[in-house]
Structure 1
């Protein structure tokens, strides 16, 4: 057998296949392939000069690999370059490294014209013919029009796998294409995620912003250590669109196309993709979930109808207590459920019911017949639940308690922050704790939703997710440009992209367990700046006042931004 090793020194990459024909021996062929499919880069500046290019590649770079970087101006003329030969031990996939370039004034460089050439010390071997052809792996990487930013996740005190992280992003572009966002790990593999909401809101500066909430399923988060993922955006397509799947993000998800996942009582109905619960209706999940877990319900709570659950006093006037919706986030294997009930106190004045104030309190019931077995320990609500308006209800179940909170959608009316008439025109900027009750956990838990009187309470979706305390937090790294390499290697995946440049638009951070916001500023014609995610600590350096506007939102609503997420 003849083994032929070809070293390809050309950067044109015009011939993706090498064919060798030797008389009386035979033919051998092999493809020219890149050692990496994609990567990221950012440009580093000292004074007015660009001096280095930072790279993050999605494949290992073995010792001896040559990395060559070319910087060009907007006309495509080379203005600087640099070369790195990878040293002993190599560079693992996903590890940032720098390539020093000849210093050049940053005004002369168009970052989008950057080229990265990888000449690997590895070879691609084809053994299918009489002649074995080895081709040295060679790739040319160019900017593909998209950006990304690393999200450095700080783990909890225990190892977590497949843990969902909530992220709230904001853009100053009211028409930002949120479907262009996707998430990957350091080696470019897609992560499962779900866009929960997106919409617009008017900020206190009078401008209209767009926003979106994403949940990302992070594969592994080490205990007391960091894990890095990437958010990628503004590309021409979404290579991870097949990974938009809430069923792969949460333990349980239901958007109520049917009631197949529930035991039911009364006559709950589905209309327009919404669950509707009227007086006497309830649903109980057929699945149970390991404690701890967190429940989220996107709901429009309906009032009670004044039917007395309890009456105090008598004669000419009395006090009537009527229960409306109730939620039992924990129902044990014996059917004993614990949760929250929301209703109203009425003054019964000579037969006329006068609403006096909202009441909420601990509800306990037998899940086999919750309407008739329910016990409601009512009391004044502080803070009150919002009724007749869409909101997010959260309930976290731990080994000792069930804790409730609500997330409201707000917008600026020109004078103050007010509840939005629709989630699509307000921002879910904070979570407000409402109630907490002590429980005894004896088994995995199921969830129950019901309406004792009044209605209909409407539910758009529910999900149950993993929960740990404290929840992971994260910070944001630099903005990167995204590279795509040719020719493509045999196996493919996906990634993201940054530049050190002046005038980079900034964004703020909000949220709880995932304190990220992404106001991605739009670019004017000819700008060489890129959209940039900003960590909340950047405000101390005077780079953004968006975070302060969001905090003002909470202050004016007499609410406090929480430190960890819903």
Structure 2
């Protein structure tokens, strides 16, 4: 929404700002508008902030504010809380920043509450932000108008916001990055200290917005309001190198204006939950079986994606690794007394020329016991890995867990291909919770694809596969306490 004053005498800009604040019941602060005394043109009032959040305690004696934009020292802030009849319940007209307030930072304030009102009486809040900075507009020829930036934030107590600050740590500007957001209040019984109001939030009344109040694509991995745990994935369209963005988890809103933004397939680069086998998504060396949401790979079967994912990505999957059957893999470091047998293999990077850099998993035979083995497997698709490849197998630790459902993760970053496994837990997206199994340096010759296979034995089973963008270190996430959402006007 634009507050533009078309073809008015320039001095009317002063009156408009004064009326705006007077309407709110404030003593009019000092507002400076520097204008030349002649000319007619257009000028707009600009808010120094687009979005924010406000919280106040039960007794209306103190509260907190969070803004989506940096605010400079000298900024004046006015807070007013009203009941449903428009009566002023509590206020603070004396807040002035002495230093810069960074976006996403918490500003604590006190409240005057002359009648002893409580939070349950508050229906809406107004927050006025008056910046010492100016917006300059050329209105006609050499006529310049400098107007102090002024914003009015409006909030009601039915729309909640949990501010989430996402910080880029790798030194790369990121695009369409899938960020995992975990909110865990399971150990917190005091509602004043919750990150969400778990009595209000549900899967139908929530959505995410960026610091310009634009909706973001998201997916709810878990939302357990009884135990107060939630896991979300949000697609962040743009995250500047070494910078940060503040997103808002909005909830308590019905009807939900952005329900369609809950879309798993627009959060990640690639998703397959194997309801069917999709030949548009996968190539295969033979016909494979998908039943009841499970992809089955027997010995001699492998599949790989048609889509490529760039040169920096992470792959997550739910997998049940089946043993090899003892068949000798000839192109391995075998000896006269011992040999290796390959079972499942994970193709972490498939080059444009179809060279597959993989983790081979199997066993070593020839002693008293069969020992688990692993190692880098490199071959060219779609051929048999033992016809044109080499498996650099060994019995080095750690070894993979077989014959049970586990999570596997593969990351490719700056030519470093790393494989991970974990056997328990719900947080499959947090790589720090995994055990690193192997790490290989690979030659990157272009955008990569991924794949999975079983050379002998099996079967191995796969429940789902997800691919997302990846950098190291990943962005960090800081979740604030729940607030009521503030929307600021004018909207630019």
Give the equivalent residue in structure 2 for 1:352.
Answer: none
Give the equivalent residue in structure 2 for 1:70.
Answer: 81
1:230 aligns with 2:236: no
Note the C-alpha offset of 1:273: 2.6
Contact 2:82–2:88, Cα closer than 8 Å, also in 1: yes
Contact 1:253–1:463, Cα closer than 8 Å, also in 2: yes
Note the C-alpha offset of 1:450: 0.6
1:322 aligns with 2:341: yes
Paired with 1:185 and 1:42, the residues of 2 have a C-alpha distance of: 19
Give the equivalent residue in structure 2 for 1:444.
Answer: 447
Give the equivalent residue in structure 2 for 1:309.
Answer: 329
Deviation string, structure 1 residues 358-405 (Cα, Å, up to 9, x no partner):
211111111121344343222125222222333221111234321111
Task: State the SS of the aligned residue for 1:248.
Answer: helix
Decide which of 217, 222, 228 is 1:198's aligned counterpart.
222
Contact 1:55–1:98, Cα closer than 8 Å, also in 2: no
Contact 2:153–2:486, Cα closer than 8 Å, also in 1: no
Q: Report the CA distance shift for 1:157/1:491 in structure 2 as closer, same or farther (over 3 A).
A: closer
Note the C-alpha offset of 1:433: 0.7
1:168 aligns with 2:177: no
Give the equivalent residue in structure 2 for 1:143.
Answer: 157
Note the C-alpha offset of 1:283: 0.9
Note the C-alpha offset of 1:151: 2.2
1:265 aligns with 2:279: no
Contact 1:392–1:406, Cα closer than 8 Å, also in 2: yes
Contact 1:153–1:474, Cα closer than 8 Å, also in 2: yes
Give the equivalent residue in structure 2 for 1:529.
Answer: none
Task: Map 1:15-34 onto structure 2 (within 5 A).
Answer: none
Give the equivalent residue in structure 2 for 1:391.
Answer: 406
Question: Which runs of no fewer than 5 residues in structure 1 stay unpaired?
Answer: 12-35, 122-136, 201-207, 350-354, 411-422, 493-566
Paired with 1:117 and 1:399, the residues of 2 have a C-alpha distance of: 49
Deviation string, structure 1 residues 21-78 (Cα, Å, up to 9, x no partner):
xxxxxxxxxxxxxxx9985212379xx97255636489x9xxx999661266x99986
Q: Report the CA distance shift for 1:112/1:340 in structure 2 as closer, same or farther (over 3 A).
A: farther
Note the C-alpha offset of 1:92: 12
Paired with 1:371 and 1:360, the residues of 2 have a C-alpha distance of: 15
1:116 aligns with 2:125: yes
Task: State the SS of the aligned residue for 2:461.
Answer: strand
Q: Report the CA distance shift for 1:104/1:161 in structure 2 as closer, same or farther (over 3 A).
A: farther
Give the equivalent residue in structure 2 for 1:243.
Answer: 261
1:183 aligns with 2:192: no
Paired with 1:191 and 1:388, the residues of 2 have a C-alpha distance of: 39
- How many residues are treated as equivalent by the alignment? 418
Give the equivalent residue in structure 2 for 1:219.
Answer: 237
Give the equivalent residue in structure 2 for 1:42.
Answer: 55
Deviation string, structure 1 residues 445-472 (Cα, Å, up to 9, x no partner):
2212111122232222223222222222
Task: Map 1:452-491 onto structure 2 (within 5 A).
Answer: 452-482=455-485
Q: What TM-score does the superposition give when structure 2 sets the normalisation length?
A: 0.68
Q: Report the CA distance shift for 1:65/1:111 in structure 2 as closer, same or farther (over 3 A).
A: farther
Q: Report the CA distance shift for 1:357/1:248 in structure 2 as closer, same or farther (over 3 A).
A: same
Deviation string, structure 1 residues 175-228 (Cα, Å, up to 9, x no partner):
984565532212322211223x4388xxxxxxx956454322112222222222
Q: Report the CA distance shift for 1:370/1:145 in structure 2 as closer, same or farther (over 3 A).
A: same
Paired with 1:66 and 1:342, the residues of 2 have a C-alpha distance of: 62
Note the C-alpha offset of 1:142: 1.6
Contact 1:150–1:478, Cα closer than 8 Å, also in 2: no
Contact 2:80–2:88, Cα closer than 8 Å, also in 1: no
Deviation string, structure 1 residues 310-352 (Cα, Å, up to 9, x no partner):
69678xxx65532211011111122211110111234577xxx
Q: Report the CA distance shift for 1:391/1:199 in structure 2 as closer, same or farther (over 3 A).
A: farther
Contact 1:253–1:462, Cα closer than 8 Å, also in 2: yes
Higher mean C-alpha deviation, range 334-343 or range 399-408: 399-408
Give the equivalent residue in structure 2 for 1:286.
Answer: 306
Contact 2:341–2:363, Cα closer than 8 Å, also in 1: yes
Q: Report the CA distance shift for 1:401/1:210 in structure 2 as closer, same or farther (over 3 A).
A: same
Task: State the SS of the aligned residue for 2:370.
Answer: strand
Note the C-alpha offset of 1:104: 6.2
Q: What TM-score does the superposition give when structure 1 sets the normalisation length?
A: 0.60
1:343 aligns with 2:362: yes
Deviation string, structure 1 residues 278-302 (Cα, Å, up to 9, x no partner):
1111112112232122222222222
Paired with 1:332 and 1:424, the residues of 2 have a C-alpha distance of: 30
1:80 aligns with 2:90: yes
Task: State the SS of the aligned residue for 1:364.
Answer: strand
Decide which of 88, 102, 105 is 2:112's aligned counterpart.
102
Deviation string, structure 1 residues 538-557 (Cα, Å, up to 9, x no partner):
xxxxxxxxxxxxxxxxxxxx
Question: Which runs of no fewer than 5 residues in structure 2 stay unpaired?
Answer: 1-7, 25-48, 131-150, 188-197
Paired with 2:408 and 2:63, the residues of 1 have a C-alpha distance of: 48
Task: State the SS of the aligned residue for 1:144.
Answer: coil
